[in-house]
Amino acid sequence: MVSIVLVVLLFSWLLSSLTEWGRKNRDNKADPFTDICGKTVGTVLRYCVPVFVFMIAVTMFAGAGALLNDVLGTPTWVGATGMAVVVAITLMFGFRNLVEIIGRIGPVIVIVIGIVALWVVVENFAALADVPENLAQYQPAKASENWFIGTILYSTAILIIAVPFLTSLGREDRSLRSTVRPSILTGFLYGGVMGLCALALLATLPMVYNEATPLVMLGIDLAPWLGYVFSIITLLGIYSTAAPMLWTVADQFPLKSRRTYAIVCLALTVVALIGGLKLPFAELVGFVYPSIGYFGLVFFGCLAYRQIKSRLAHR
């Protein structure tokens, strides 16, 4: 619970900082990595982050395969391939349409996940008293043995992969109000739903600690129809992560024509799909996110230093 409070604060700050950077630099070609971290460190991050972003897309395709395998018993290639096809088609429509689609899907995902998690907590509220004993017996996978380090790595990993996307989003806005306020609100909504999910998982730990898609399993346990609805919502969440990640990678190429852009997007999707089919979902999550987190720590450390230095200079 303390971790979630920290995530809310970090997300609110980082989201608002990145979108505001994009707004301030909307009329130039500045790169966020080199501008914030300097030429040497920024260049390293600029070329490393797209690789990690690509690995997130690979993880999402593997997750789609794992989800349909858990719920419907289909081979993992069915879910992964289906998701790859939808993502590839979306990328063909470009950045603006991608933002519109995700903007419509996002609130629905948050609301449904929040409702299901709250339902699970209410149904299993008494089981929260058994959490200490259950945690000792049923050990879920951890990104770090230290909860504080895990919190920081989670926050920086989630947001460094979205730096190009968020700064581009900021460049589309013209006012401070339309960038900073929604970012802060997003942080609080995200943290609130995350808190409900954490309580739901803790209350049902013996049932879900070893599941690839635990919240979906909880939905099915409450009501079969709800499990299927929640599966669709989860697939939308996977889609709304994979599509921006692959767009971010494609955007790094100096593409001159729409046809070249389409070919690059298709090639990236196919390669990511192959990776998602070959690599296990749980192992990907356990390796990719903590690794990205350390790079994120460097980037956001530079961002914090720059902001503190700027404010001290204006005193």
For residues 134-145, give the mean pLDDT. 77
The string of pLDDT tens digits covering residues 179-236 is 667 777 777 888 888 899 889 988 888 888 777 678 777 777 777 777 778 788 888 8
pLDDT band at 82 (very low <50, low <70, confident <90, very high): very high
The residue with greater pLDDT, 143 or 204, is: 204
Helical residues (DSSP H) of 73-176, grouped into ranges: 76-91, 95-123, 131-137, 147-160, 163-172
Q: What percent of the chain has pLDDT over 70?
A: 91
- Average pLDDT over the chain reads 82
Backbone phi and psi for residue 138, each to the nearest 5 degrees, phi listed first: -115, 95
User: Residue 126 contacts by C-beta under 8 Å, 6 or more apart in sequence?
Assistant: none
Other beta carbons within 10 angstroms of residue 11's beta carbon come to: 22
Six token digits for residue 161 = 């992969």
Helical residues (DSSP H) of 38-94, grouped into ranges: 39-72, 76-91
The answer to whether the CB of 84 falls within 8 A of the CB of 273 is yes
Backbone phi and psi for residue 257, each to the nearest 5 degrees, phi listed first: -130, 160
Q: How do the residues of the chain divide into helix, strand and coil, expressed in percent and rounded to 5?
A: 85, 0, 15
Predicted confidence at residue 143, as pLDDT, reads 64
Cα(197)–Cα(87) distance, integer angstroms: 27
The string of pLDDT tens digits covering residues 85-136 is 988 888 877 666 676 777 777 788 888 888 888 988 998 888 888 888 888 8
pLDDT of residue 5 exceeding 70? yes
Helix (H) or strand (E) holding 293: helix 281-313
- Give the global pTM: 0.69
The answer to whether the CB of 54 falls within 8 A of the CB of 270 is no
Cα(246)–Cα(243) distance, integer angstroms: 5
Cα(266)–Cα(280) distance, integer angstroms: 23
